[in-house]
Structure 1
Amino acid sequence: MPHSVTLLNPQTKIGSSLRFTRGQHMSKPNILFIMADQLSAKALSIYGHRVTKTPAIQGLADCGLVYEAAYCNSPLCGPSRQSMMAGRLPSQIKCYDNASGLRVGTPTFAHYLNAAGYRTCLSGKMHFVGADQKQGFQERLTTDIYPADFSWTPNWDDPNANVRFQDMKNVLNAGMCERSMQIDYDDDVAYQAQRWLYDRATDKSQKPWMLTVSFTSPHDPYTAQPEFWSLYDDSEIDLPTVRVSDISLDTHSMRLQNHYSIHEVDDSTLRRMRHGYYGAISYIDNKVKALIELLDRTGMREDTIIVFTSDHGDMMGERGMYYKKNFFEWSSRVPLILAGPNIKPGRNDRPVSLVDILPTFCELAEIAPIETCGTSLLENCEKPVLAEYLAEGVSYPTFMIRELNYKLFWSKNDPPLLFDIKNDPNEIENLVEDATHAPAFSKLVKLAEEAWNSDKLRSEIINSQNKRRLMQKAEDPQWDYAPDLGMSDRYVRAGRWTVDVESKAHLEVKG
């Protein structure tokens, strides 16, 4: 084991108010980490939404610790996930967009858990870019759903370049479907994850495990199968709380409207889009239910910490905006639940973010992280949340700081925005010019100027983009991952006996 990795004494206190008390069966808890994609905290009943039906997530929240103010560190899939896995901001690990990957030598939470004696596995998407498509996970059960090369690299030298070809089609074409690429993928993710968990139930080694199950739903396109679409009546689908006519659009929102070719959408289209999104959320809830029930049936739940979150949210037509790529609550605020042995149920309203996942997992595994800007969620530590957006739709870095009740949007290229989230949760009133809030504004601006050198970062990003676009054109690297699922060992083949193979798979009914 590398000498720089420190294993903690089981009795060592790390400042936690919540401590995992090791159970009768294992010295360290198993960890089941469930991720949705593009699931806004604002769209869940556990955070007050009145329409979506998510009994499994609600049940997990009822027996777990719910974080009321959890944020992604970038409102875009790739950089959000790489930042979360490394426990550092996207700019610190140079993962700026959906075509930039973790550099060699960057430890992820999977590396730390491996070093602490865990068996680690990924089922589902993680948006890895580059030749290393495991990034510390010992096993990976599925391919990814998006490319692993540089083909989605933005071009800040030409801000009008439409790299992703994402427009309003997914909004306009929302509706019911029998199957889709997203559904095919998530069905496979769930199946492979459940099979792996059954294997752990028959594993006699008693080695703790960590399984990440990462779904692509409810990411657009906003479609749902009849089973989940029919959970909602058209008449109960709500419309955006804040319409574009209620506000003056900020400069970044205006850029995104141009980027997505956003135009006025009628109420019936808005309701159909939200109907599809809510149906996809219920579909994911059903997957969460199946995973939790499997833990119950196999007797593993009593030794397992369950964590549920998403990589970012979705605007859902709020403020006349769609998809993500901004710091408003619908886009940047994510669900976050911890549940398991001796996690006291309740609510925590201090601002936290996804970079806090790595130190949390390290604390559960009793291993000290070498480098992170996050803080364990098991500690009661108040500190600002930092977030960045460094990808397509802008040509200059944009930042967000959330501290206590205040949220600052900051960019050298845009007028700043300041909101009091507690008293103005819909982010209507920009307080920058309000003298009453001048001390808070000055403090957050100072924090932003200390945290980021915008000009230097912009130069680094453009340099990275130019290199990656050149390499994609010159090489067209083939990095897409195809898993080896070990079917030759799983089923009866030449030279093997049925009874021997079946003995490894057979699991008695518990209870």
Structure 2
Amino acid sequence: MAEKKPNILFIMADQLAASALPFYGHPLVKTPNLSSLAQNGVVFDSAYCNSPLCAPSRYVLMTGQLPSKIGAYDNAADLSADIPTFAHYLRAQNYKTALSGKMHFCGPDQLHGFEERLTTDIYPADYGWFPNWDDVKTRPTWYHNMSSVTQAGPCIRSNQLDFDDEVVFHAQRYLYDYVRREQDRPFCLTVSMTHPHDPYAIPPEYWDRYEDAEIDLPKITIKKEDQDPHSARLQNVYDYYAQDLSEQQIRNARHAYYGAISYVDDKIGMLLKTLKETGAR
């Protein structure tokens, strides 16, 4: 008798820095669910993504190929539909494949091997974020700016909160529906949240989990003239020197970021609870 294949729940978070997690040594951030997974699973000490940008990094993750191999140079790059992804390979192994949340696919193919998407994406699928590489000195108007820091703080709602709440809701419903019907095929459910990606705004429930006075500040400051060329380019693109930042604004941004990590951890806890309740793990 053939061995039963395991179900796969693949959870992604956006801009979640290892250095901000307690099992990598951070003394303040609270992540009981992630910490439990780390304690009972495998934690990587030397794992690196092949691109610092959202879409290229995800394309590499999906395909296992370098950005230079698949033309994934920016956030408006088109992932060619003829490049196989892990979703294609899993379907070939008789897995049901579903995506709930963000993957930043650009172009007409919004599945890339997934049989179904449970939500839309939070980012546009067109090529509107294509940079003009012939005019690198002009700052793109659509790019990040420092408002994520200068306006950081508690909020009631945001489009990212609406999105991630929907992402996890549909993922839970997928798991409930899976156990309601004949389980003739194992599943691979990818759940991809946009938090703790900026802007740094989070509801009071998560803001209040941290005291303002305990928020750590950056230990190193590098002068503009001492920046390496790549960092100088990035700082110019997101308009870093257009305003002066106060210590409190920096503290607020970190405060909200830590709250957003706790928000993600709560969502992961909800998914793990649903797995246990349904017996789908």
TM-score (norm: length of structure 2): 0.95
Counterpart in 1 of 2:133? 156
Identity among equivalent positions (%) equals: 54
Moved more, 197-206 or 145-154: 197-206
Counterpart in 2 of 1:272? 252
Counterpart in 1 of 2:105? 128
Letter aligned with residue 287 of structure 1: K
SS in 2 for 1:67: coil
SS in 1 for 2:226: coil
Native 8 Å contact 1:123 1:212 kept in 2: yes
Matched, 1:60 2:37: yes
Q: Distance in 1 between matches of 2:226 and 2:136?
A: 23
Counterpart in 1 of 2:96? 119
Counterpart in 1 of 2:188? 210
Distance 1:283 1:247, change over 3 A: farther
TM-score (norm: length of structure 1): 0.53
Native 8 Å contact 1:26 1:208 kept in 2: no
Match of 1:289 among 264, 269, 276: 269
Q: Which aligned runs of 4 or more in structure 1 are off by greater than 3 angstroms?
A: 245-248
SS in 2 for 1:70: coil
Counterpart in 2 of 1:147? 124
Q: Distance in 2 between matches of 1:122 and 1:27?
A: 22
Native 8 Å contact 1:82 1:101 kept in 2: no
Native 8 Å contact 1:224 1:280 kept in 2: yes
Q: Distance in 2 between matches of 1:57 and 1:180?
A: 24
Counterpart in 2 of 1:490? none
Counterpart in 2 of 1:30? 7
Letter aligned with residue 300 of structure 1: A
Counterpart in 2 of 1:181? 159
C-alpha displacement of 1:258 = 1.5
Match of 1:41 among 12, 18, 36: 18
Instruction: Answer 1 or 2: which has greater strand percent.
Output: 1
Distance 1:245 1:191, change over 3 A: same
Distance 1:26 1:270, change over 3 A: farther
* Unmatched 5+ stretches in structure 2: none
Listed as ranges, the matches of 1:25-424 within 5 Å are 27-163=4-140, 164-244=142-222, 248-263=226-241, 264-301=244-281
Q: How many aligned residue pairs are there?
A: 278
C-alpha displacement of 1:206 = 3.6
Counterpart in 2 of 1:450? none
Q: Distance in 2 between matches of 1:166 and 1:288?
A: 27
Give deviations 1:384-441, integer Å, cap 9, x for gaps.
Answer: xxxxxxxxxxxxxxxxxxxxxxxxxxxxxxxxxxxxxxxxxxxxxxxxxxxxxxxxxx
C-alpha displacement of 1:156 = 1.0
SS in 2 for 1:114: helix
C-alpha displacement of 1:28 = 1.0
Native 8 Å contact 2:217 2:250 kept in 1: yes
SS in 2 for 1:210: strand
Q: Distance in 2 between matches of 1:246 and 1:48?
A: 29
Q: Distance in 2 between matches of 1:108 and 1:124?
A: 17
C-alpha displacement of 1:104 = 2.6
C-alpha displacement of 1:50 = 1.2
Q: Distance in 2 between matches of 1:79 and 1:173?
A: 28
Letter aligned with residue 108 of structure 1: T
Greater Rg, structure 1 or structure 2?
1
* Unmatched 5+ stretches in structure 1: 1-23, 302-511
C-alpha displacement of 1:162 = 2.5
Q: Distance in 1 between matches of 2:50 and 2:280?
A: 32
Letter aligned with residue 163 of structure 2: Y
Distance 1:136 1:267, change over 3 A: same
Q: Distance in 2 between matches of 1:240 and 1:62?
A: 28
Give deviations 1:106-137, integer Å, cap 9, x for gaps.
Answer: 00000000000000000001000111111110
Give deviations 1:167-188, integer Å, cap 9, x for gaps.
Answer: 1111101110010000000000
Q: Distance in 2 between matches of 1:75 and 1:241?
A: 22
Q: Distance in 1 between matches of 2:109 and 2:190?
A: 17
